[in-house]
């Protein structure tokens, strides 16, 4: 549960359970305010003049309480309120009453008069788009060079989806409480948050058992225990045999990169299945990865008789069309797990139901494996299979969740904020990687890394999460100038860190 993310509603529940167990709300608010004041001292110690913006709810209450602490520390603070303090209720009213310092209406706020702005306008309670004068204020603040420290979330960012509702503050840092929220990790929220720190305000982790969150940050804590690492006396077949389908002679590189990634990621063996026309070009470039001819669906049926080949990748450089559909259906109906990427996804754009039916029929493979199918679309490919979901007013995590449920697949919806979703409703949001991953062929390597985990019998959701995390870590380890070929070579370092973890 360390990796759990809480939606604002779930966070409200954590708050409620904690208060019911005996900690008054004002105590939680005081602790939240202390964390904000600490973040000011550690991150913005040089700021001479500090403005705190207070909204109409408890986010504003946090601002009042933080202003009181900073003033006690001798800092030059001034508070600006969206509504007069007499209109506040509950804990926010208590905090406002306790603050005896300077306060003025928000209309008087001029960003350039300050060295730091603490944003306590709206947090978890944001319920609709910002409008009117508040939008003007947000625009004015964003245009100024004054750094902002956001309380809980930058105002205007949805904690659930990371969306900008009307307008949103661009923070340099954000202090949130107990656990991250999806909006801290999903774009554009992630970019608006700046550095995120999570403060312990005394909410016990055991409230999570009752809340049963379904969103997670993609961290090793989520899947490390499900990874099958080599054993001392292990045989290569213990680690499975990954197969990648090659495209025609002019586009074979993608499959080889995926196969190399499968091997580096720990599959015991990796083989490229190649059409006859591309055998020579593949042979000229393969060494540790093996090669077999696979010309058509009939030949594939024969090859599938070798039950040790347990994880397949179809799509990178494959070419779209009927061939891809027949292969995908054959692999799934043979009870093997399949990563369907790129052209493999496009091949089903006119008949997504044929794919979903095949995935449903394939069921969950061996008992604990999870779904037989992994889909790895970027936003464009996602739209080909799920046009209605791509256009619906949904956050990225819910979009991926609905797609996973409909297709009975684990869906890896790629991008800077890749979401991995399972048909059972779990969704993990990834935070590893660099912008250098946006390079030709990097998705092919990811497909191979997923197959590496599937080959080693990692359950499907955890396999996908681990692969996405490693892919990002490999990019971080390489640094600038990355091209796709560099990624498999960085996997050993990523694995070493993971094993030491």
Ligand X SMILES: NC(=O)C1=CN([C@@H]2O[C@H](COP(=O)(O)OP(=O)(O)OC[C@H]3O[C@@H](n4cnc5c(N)ncnc54)[C@H](OP(=O)(O)O)[C@@H]3O)[C@@H](O)[C@H]2O)[C@@H](O)CC1
Residues that bind ligand X (CB under 6 A): 11-12, 14-15, 28-29, 32, 55-62, 122-130, 151-152, 177, 201
364 annotated as a binding-site residue = no
Nearest 5°: the CA angle 337, 339, 344 is 125
Q: Which residues make beta-bridge pairs with 149?
A: 118, 173
C-alpha–C-alpha distance, residues 345 and 237, integer Å: 29
Q: Minimum distance between the CB of residue 163 and ligand X, rounded to whole angstroms?
A: 12
441 sits near ligand ADP (criterion: CB under 6 A): yes
* The only residue of 7, 18, 58, 155 in contact with K ion, by rule CB under 5 A: 155
Least spacing, CB of residue 394 vs K ion, in Å: 24
As measured in angstroms, the least distance from the Cβ of 226 to ligand X is 31
Q: Which tokens go with 211?
A: 């809340």
Rounded to whole angstroms, how far apart are CA atoms 416 and 487? 16
> Cβ of residue 301: shortest distance to ligand ADP, in angstroms?
29
Query: Judged by CB under 6 A, which stretch of 89-97, 157-165, 288-296, 431-439 contacts ligand ADP?
Result: 431-439
What is the C-alpha to C-alpha distance for residues 270 and 325, in angstroms, rounded to an integer?
22
Residue from 460, 462, 475, 461 nearest 416 by CA: 475
49 marked among binding-site residues: no
Residue 219 contacts ligand ADP per CB under 6 A? no
Residue 446 binds which entry of K ion, ligand X, ligand ADP, none, CB below 5-8 Å type-dependent: ligand ADP
Cα separation, 269 vs 236, whole angstroms: 7
Closest CA to 471 of 229, 245, 261: 261
Alpha helices in 21-89 (DSSP H): 25-43, 58-72
Give, as ranges, the residues between 116 and 145 that touch K ion (CB under 5 A): 119, 123
Please, which residue, 65 or 397, has the CB nearer to ligand X? 65
55 is in an annotated binding site: no
- What mask, x for binding ligand ADP by CB under 6 A, covers residues 313 to 352? -----------------------------x----------
Q: Which residues pair with 105 in a beta bridge?
A: 81
Closest C-alpha among 27, 35, 11 to residue 149: 35
Query: How are beta strands 337-340 and 373-375 bridged, if at all?
Result: parallel
SS3 256: helix
The reply to whether 151 sits near K ion by the rule CB under 5 A is: yes
8 A C-beta contact, residue 207 and residue 196: no
Binding-site ranges for ligand ADP (CB under 6 A): 342, 378, 414-416, 418, 433-435, 437-438, 440-444, 446, 471
Binding-site ranges for K ion (CB under 5 A): 119, 123, 150-151, 155
- Where is the binding site, in residues? 58-62, 119, 123-129, 152, 155, 254, 317, 378, 414-418, 443-444
């Amino acid at each position: 549960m360390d990796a759990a993310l809480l939606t604002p509603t779930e966070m409200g529940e954590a708050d409620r359970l904690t208060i019911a167990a005996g900690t008054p709300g004002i105590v939680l608010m005081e602790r939240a305010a202390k964390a904000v004041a600490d973040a000011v001292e550690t991150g913005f110690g040089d700021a001479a003049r500090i403005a705190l913006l207070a909204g109409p709810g408890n986010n504003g209450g946090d601002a009042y309480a933080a202003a009181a602490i900073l003033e006690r520390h001798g800092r030059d603070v001034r508070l600006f309120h969206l509504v007069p303090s007499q209109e506040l209720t509950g804990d926010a009213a208590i905090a406002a009453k306790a603050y005896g310092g300077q306060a003025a209406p928000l209309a008087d706020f001029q960003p350039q008069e300050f060295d730091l702005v603490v944003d306590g306008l709206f947090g978890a309670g944001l319920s609709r788009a910002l409008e009117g004068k508040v939008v003007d204020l947000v625009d004015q603040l964003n245009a100024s060079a004054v750094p902002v420290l956001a309380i809980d979330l930058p105002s205007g960012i949805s904690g659930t989806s990371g969306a900008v509702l009307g307008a949103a503050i661009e923070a340099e840092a954000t202090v949130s409480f107990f656990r991250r929220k999806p909006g801290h990790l999903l774009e554009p929220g992630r970019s608006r948050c700046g550095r995120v720190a999570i403060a312990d305000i005394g909410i016990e982790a055991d409230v999570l058992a009752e809340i049963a969150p379904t969103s997670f940050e993609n961290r090793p804590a989520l899947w490390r225990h499900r990874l099958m690492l080599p054993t001392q006396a292990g045989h290569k077949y213990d680690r499975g045999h990954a197969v990648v389908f090659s495209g025609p002679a002019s586009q074979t590189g993608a499959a080889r990169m995926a196969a190399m990634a499968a091997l580096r990621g720990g599959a015991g063996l990796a083989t490229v299945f190649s059409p006859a026309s591309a055998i020579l070009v593949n042979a000229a470039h393969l060494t540790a990865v093996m090669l077999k001819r696979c010309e058509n669906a009939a030949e594939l049926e024969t090859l599938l008789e070798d039950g040790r080949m347990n994880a397949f990748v179809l799509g990178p450089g494959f070419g779209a069309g009927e061939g891809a559909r027949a292969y995908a259906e054959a692999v799934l109906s043979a009870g093997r797990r399949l990563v369907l990427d790129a052209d493999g996804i496009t091949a089903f754009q006119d008949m997504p139901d044929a794919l979903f039916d095949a995935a449903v029929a394939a069921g969950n493979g061996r008992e604990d494996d999870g779904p037989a199918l992994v889909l790895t679309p970027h936003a464009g490919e996602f739209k080909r299979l799920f046009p209605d979901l791509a256009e619906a007013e949904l956050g990225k995590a819910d979009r991926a969740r609905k797609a996973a449920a409909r297709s009975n697949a684990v869906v890896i919806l790629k991008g800077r904020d890749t979401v991995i979703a399972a048909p059972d409703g779990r969704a993990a949001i990834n935070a590893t990687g660099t912008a250098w991953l946006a390079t030709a062929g990097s998705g092919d390597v990811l497909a191979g890394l997923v197959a590496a985990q599937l080959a080693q019998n990692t359950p499907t959701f955890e396999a996908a999460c681990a692969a996405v995390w490693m892919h990002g870590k490999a990019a971080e380890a390489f640094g600038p100038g990355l091209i796709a070929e560099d990624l498999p070579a960085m996997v050993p370092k990523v694995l070493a860190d993971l094993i030491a973890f």
